[in-house]
Structure 1
Amino acid sequence: MATTFKPRNVLLFGATGNIGIYILDAILAVREEFDRIVIFTSQTTATLKKNLLDELRRTKKVEVIVGDLQDEDAVRKAYDGIDTIISALGRGAITLQIPLIRLADASPTVKWFLPSEYGTDIKYSPASAQEKPHQQKLAVRAVLENDVSELAYTYVVTGPYADMYVHFASNPEVGGWDVKSKKATLLGTDGNGPVSLTTMKDVGTLVRATLEHPSVAFKRALRVNSFTTTPSQIHAEFERQTGGQPWTDVRYTSLSRLREVESEAWKTEKPDATGFTLRRIWTEGGTLYDQRDNTLIGEPPLQTLVDVVAEEIRQSS
C-alpha cells in the first residue's frame, strides 16, 4: 500500500466498551480529520446505551450500525466505503475478529485493520507462545500475517492498563492499592521491579496517533506505553497524595508466590486466572523494552503516574 494512504472513513467494533470508548473519544477529538466515523454495535448495546448513541449521532455525526458480528452480510454491508477498521472487542470475543478480517481483506475499500491487541505483548519472548491468555490473539495474528493478501494491519501493544494495575485486585496477593483502608500489596520481593503501564485514556491517544502515522505502522507491532515505574514508586506516590504519612499495611508478593497463586487459580478454574497470569508476566519483566515506539507515532502527550494515582484516589473517595 502506498505510504500516502490516510484513513478517512473509520469503522469501530466494540466502540462503547471498556477500552473502545477511550479510542472513540480520542478519534472524536479530531473529528474534522475524518469523513465518516461508524460504530457497528449489537442490538443489546443499542438498547442499553441508546442515549449515548443518540448523542454521538447528533453532536459528532457518528453513524451507528446495529447488527450481529456473525452476520457476514451485515458486516459486508457495513464495510462499504470504509478504509480503516479498529477493533476493541473484549477478551471473550477475540476470535470473532477472524471472519471480520477475512471480510475486510475481500472488501474493495478496506485497507487497514487494527485488531484488539491493547495490553500485554503476546510475542514478547519465545515463552509467550505458550501462555494460556495469549492463544486467541495469536490465532488472530496468524490470520493477518499468513492468510490475507492486501490488508495492512497494526498491533497497538500497550502493556497493562495503569488504571487496573493500581486498583486493589480481587485476590489481595496479586497486587494493588486500597486507598480507603490504606492497604497495599506490591508485586515482587522488594517492589522494585520495573513495569511499563498505559492508562486507558492513553490507549485512545496512542491509537489516534497510530492512525496519523500509517507509513510507519503498517504490518508491524507498535510497542507503546504511558510510562515505566515500579510498585515501590507507585506506593510512594500514593503515600504522598494521601497526606505524606506511611501506610501501615504494606505487603509483598514474591514472584514464586505469584506463580503458586496463578497455578492454583487455573487448577480450580477461577475466572480471575487469566488476570493472575498476566500479573505474573508483568512481574517477570514482560512489559519492558530497550526502546518504546512512541517516537514513531509523533510522541503524543500522555498521562503520568501522578495522574493515575490522583484518579484512583478520586474514585475511592
Structure 2
Amino acid sequence: MSLAKNILLFGATGNIGTFILDAILPVRSQFGRIAIFTSPHTAETKAAQLEKLKQQDVEVITGNVEDEEAVKAAYAGIDTVISALGRNTLAQQIPLIRLAAASKDVKWFLPSEYGTDIKYGPASANEKPHQQKLKVRAYLENEVSREDLAYSYVVTGPFAEMYLDLVPGLEEAGGWDVKARKAVLLGEKGAKISLTTMQDVGTLVRNTLLHATAETRNSALCVNSFTTTPDEIQAEFERQLGGRPWEVSRTSLEKLRELEAAAWEAGKPSATVLTLRRIWTEGGTLYAKRANTIIGDPKVMGLQEVVANEIARVSKL
C-alpha cells in the first residue's frame, strides 16, 4: 500500500484535478480512502459526474473551502491532501495548509504547483504570475513545522495542449492552428522547451504519491513529458498531416517582451499569458535534471503522440 493511504483532493472536477483523479483511480487498491472536497454549486451542476465517482468508491464531501469547520471535518482520517485549485483561487490554499498542519491526521500536502517553475532563477521572484504560488510556498516553508506537515511541489512546466493552442487575437504569443495550417513559432530556431501533457500531470502526481521518499518530501519535483523545440513541433505536424503547406511565422523573444510590457501597461488579461510564454521562450522550462526517475520514471507521452492527439481533437470540431 502507498505511504499516502487516505487522500483528499481539492479541485477534483477542474481542468487538472480531473486528470489527477483519473490517474489515481486505476490504482485504487493502493490506497485506503480517496475523497474529494467539492462546493455545493459543483455538487449541483456536476451531479452525474460525482455519482459516477461514488460508484468508483470515491467519497464526495460537499462544503465551502472557506468554511474552516467543514475543512476540519473533511481532514479527519486523511493523511495526504492534494490541491488542484485554479490560478484565481491559489491564495485559498494558505488556510487549508494551516488547518492541515493543525490536524492530527494530515501529514503531507501537495499544493497546486503544476505549471511553470516559480523558482527557476533569481528573476522568478519578481514575475507577476508567480506571486500567489510564491506566497503559498513561503507559508509552507516558513510558517509550518516539518514535524506537523511535509510538502511536495510537483512542477510540470507548461501544459503541452495549451502551448499548442493558437489563440485568436493573440496569435503573436505562438501556437498552431491545425485547420488553417497556420503556426507562429516562438524564439530563435533551436530554442528548447519542455512540455507536460495534462494527462501526464495526473500520472506524475500519482507516482509522487506511490514513491514517497526523503527525496520527494519537502522538495520541488521538476518533471515533464518531453523536451522539444517549436521547429520540431512544426516538423511533426507537417510529417503527420502532409498535404498543403503551412503558413509559418515567428515571434522573436524581443517582440514577445514588447507585447508583454504593453499588455501589462494596458491591464489586459493576456498579460499573464504573454509573461508565461516569454519565460518559456527564455528557457525557463529547462532543468539540469528532471525528477521523473525519483518517482518511478512513469510512462509519459512523447511529441508524436501529442501532435496526433491535437490533430484528432481538431478533426472532431
Tell me the residue number matched to 1:265. Answer: 263
Matching of residues 61-140 of structure 1 within 5 Å: 61-140=57-136
Deviation above 2 Å: which 4+ runs of structure 1? none
Q: What's the C-alpha RMSD, in Å, of the aligned pairs?
A: 1.1
Letter in 2 for 1:309: V
Q: Distance in 2 between matches of 1:275 and 1:209?
A: 29
Q: Distance in 1 between matches of 2:42 and 2:263?
A: 31
Q: Distance in 2 between matches of 1:17 and 1:76?
A: 22
Letter in 1 for 2:25: L
Partner secondary structure for residue 29 of structure 1: helix
Q: Distance in 2 between matches of 1:16 and 1:82?
A: 19
Tell me the residue number matched to 1:274. Answer: 272
| Residues 11 and 85, structure 1, Cα contact 8 Å, conserved in 2 | yes
| Residues 2 and 209, structure 2, Cα contact 8 Å, conserved in 1 | no
- Count of residues paired in the alignment: 311
Partner secondary structure for residue 28 of structure 1: helix
2:226 is the alignment partner of 1:200:
no
Q: Distance in 2 between matches of 1:67 and 1:314?
A: 38
2:293 is the alignment partner of 1:295:
yes
Q: Distance in 2 between matches of 1:244 and 1:102?
A: 57
The superposition leaves residues 146-186 of structure 1 with CA deviations (integer Å, 9 ceiling, x where unpaired) of: 11112000000000000110111240000000000000000
The superposition leaves residues 92-114 of structure 1 with CA deviations (integer Å, 9 ceiling, x where unpaired) of: 00010000000000000000000
* Structure 1 position 62, deviation (Å): 0.4
Tell me the residue number matched to 2:22. Answer: 25
The superposition leaves residues 15-47 of structure 1 with CA deviations (integer Å, 9 ceiling, x where unpaired) of: 110011000000111011111100001111111
Letter in 1 for 2:282: E
Q: Distance in 1 between matches of 2:80 and 2:47?
A: 25
Q: 48, 51, 56: which is aligned to 1:54?
A: 51
Q: Distance in 1 between matches of 2:200 and 2:243?
A: 28
Tell me the residue number matched to 1:237. Answer: 236
Q: Distance in 2 between matches of 1:50 and 1:153?
A: 32
* Structure 1 position 189, deviation (Å): 3.3
TM-score calculated relative to the size of structure 2: 0.96
The superposition leaves residues 179-218 of structure 1 with CA deviations (integer Å, 9 ceiling, x where unpaired) of: 000000000133x210000000000000001001111210
| Residues 239 and 245, structure 1, Cα contact 8 Å, conserved in 2 | no
Letter in 2 for 1:25: D
Runs (5+) with no aligned partner, structure 2: none
| Residues 193 and 286, structure 2, Cα contact 8 Å, conserved in 1 | yes
Tell me the residue number matched to 1:12. Answer: 9
Partner secondary structure for residue 180 of structure 1: coil
Q: Distance in 2 between matches of 1:65 and 1:289?
A: 38
* Structure 1 position 273, deviation (Å): 1.2
The superposition leaves residues 232-254 of structure 1 with CA deviations (integer Å, 9 ceiling, x where unpaired) of: 0000011111126541x100000
2:42 is the alignment partner of 1:45:
yes
Q: Distance in 2 between matches of 1:155 and 1:135?
A: 15
Percent of aligned positions that are identical: 63
Q: Distance in 2 between matches of 1:23 and 1:286?
A: 24
Partner secondary structure for residue 68 of structure 1: coil
TM-score calculated relative to the size of structure 1: 0.96
The superposition leaves residues 243-287 of structure 1 with CA deviations (integer Å, 9 ceiling, x where unpaired) of: 26541x100000000001111111111112111100000000000
Partner secondary structure for residue 39 of structure 1: strand
The superposition leaves residues 67-125 of structure 1 with CA deviations (integer Å, 9 ceiling, x where unpaired) of: 00000000000000000000000000001000000000000000000000000000000
Q: Distance in 2 between matches of 1:267 and 1:36?
A: 48
* Structure 1 position 315, deviation (Å): 1.4
